[in-house]
Amino acid sequence: MSDKIVLTIQDVSCFGQCSLTVALPILSAMGIETAILPSAVLSTHTGGFTGYTFRDLTDDLPAIQAHWAKENVSFDVFYTGYVGSKKQLSYIKNLVSDRRKPNAIFIVDPVMADGGKFYHGFDEDFAREMAAFMKGADVILPNLSEAAFLLGRPYKEKGYDKAYIESLVRDLSDISGGNVLLTGVSFDPLLLGVATYDRKKDAVSYCFDERIEGNFHGTGDVFASTFTGAITCGLSLEKAAALAVSFTVRAIKETLPDRKKHWYGVRFEKALPYLVSEIDKA
């Protein structure tokens, strides 16, 4: 449990178990007061659905910040996910600077790519802007694709070694000035997990769990939200990463019996009792 307040900044996909509809329940279940700042509203997420609606909320962000300033609203933790434009990045960076409490934590999940390809609406220019946005972040949470694009390097899906992974996390840390969790790392076909770089210690650690084959929408948001909650509750970098990996795998397993019908997300809700019990032990 924590008395801190988290502000999570990402889109609302009204259906599809991702972004804010994942972050808010996970953080709340962990006993954390959570405020939201929607970057956009979509009828569904963009993975596998067609004809979805999209409402850009960029122009609302300055007015929200101004109202919060008037009401003296501030936050202990900032956690960004899907940000739809370069203009939003500028607004959000200003808001983080303006509305942060002393010793506030800034966590960035640079959502823009997977499988070596940019998501719809993102490109190399956005990756450069995101790299600039990450400066000053306490923790960044890129996957392998996002790491490659942020650093301007070729994407490697497999065939890499620890030296390659550790060069990625150290170079990403040099951009942000903080810690790094690199997701989607694997040196064994049966295992999948994260590489964690602690900048103060100049140390890389790894956490792996069972690899479950398939593409599971929303798992990045499940991971990032759980990690953010764990850090907010006072867990160390490594323990927070381990809990996020474990809970994400459990959420996937809860989905497997109904995989064909429930293809659009993971049933993380069914795994929340496990998450609550683990936080209570911490």
Residue 210 has pLDDT above 90, yes or no: yes
Question: What integer pLDDT is reported at residue 38 of this predicted model?
Answer: 97
222-228: average pLDDT: 98
What share of the chain has pLDDT > 70, as a percent?
Answer: 100
Could you tell me the residue ranges of all domains in the chain? 5-281
What is the pLDDT, as a whole number, of residue 77? Answer: 98
What is the 3-state secondary structure of the chain? CCCCEEEEEEEEEEECCCCHHHHHHHHHHCCCEEEEEEEEEEEECCCCCCCCCEEECHHHHHHHHHHHHHCCCCEEEEEECCCCCHHHHHHHHHHHHHCEEEEEEEEECCCCEECCEECCCCCHHHHHHHHHHCCCCCEECCEHHHHHHHHCCCCCCCCCCHHHHHHHHHHHHHHHCCEEEEEEECCCCCEEEEEEEECCCCEEEEEEEECCCCCCCCHHHHHHHHHHHHHHCCCCHHHHHHHHHHHHHHHHHHHHHHCCCCCCCCCHHHHHHHHHHHHHHC
What is the pLDDT at residue 132?
97
The pLDDT value recorded for residue 120 is: 84
* 8 A C-beta contact, residue 203 and residue 238: no
Q: Residue 272 pLDDT > 90, yes or no?
A: yes
Q: Please give the pLDDT value at position 150.
A: 98
- Could you give the percent of the chain with pLDDT greater than 90? 95
Q: How many Cβ atoms from other residues are within 10 Å of residue 69's Cβ? A: 13
Nearest CA to 141 among 114, 104, 102?
114
| Residues 86-129: tens digit of each pLDDT | 999 999 999 999 999 999 999 999 999 999 999 988 999 999 99
Q: What is the pLDDT of residues 46-85, one digit of tens each?
A: 989 999 999 999 999 999 999 999 999 999 999 999 998 8
Class of domain 5-281: alpha beta
> What pLDDT is attached to residue 84?
84
Give 131's pLDDT tier (boundaries 50, 70, 90): very high
pLDDT tens for each residue of 34-50? 999 999 999 999 989 99
Whether the Cβ atoms of residue 209 and residue 149 lie closer than 8 Å to each other:
no
* CA atoms of 208 and 198, how far apart (whole Å): 17
pLDDT at 282: 82
- What is residue 82's predicted lDDT score, i.e. its pLDDT? 93
pLDDT, mean of residues 176-200: 97
Under the phi-then-psi rule, with left for phi > 0, alpha for psi from -120 to 50, and beta for the rest, what region is 264? alpha
Q: Are 108 and 176 in contact (CB under 8 A)?
A: yes
- Give the pLDDT score at 74: 98
Put the strands of the sheet holding 54-56 in their side by side order: 54-56, 33-44, 5-15, 75-80, 100-108, 139-140, 179-185, 191-198, 203-210
pTM summary value: 0.97
Whether the pLDDT of residue 26 is over 70: the answer is yes
Q: Per this entry, what is the length of the chain? A: 282
pLDDT of residue 34: 98
- Predicted confidence (pLDDT) at residue 1 exceeds the cutoff of 70: no
pLDDT at 148: 97
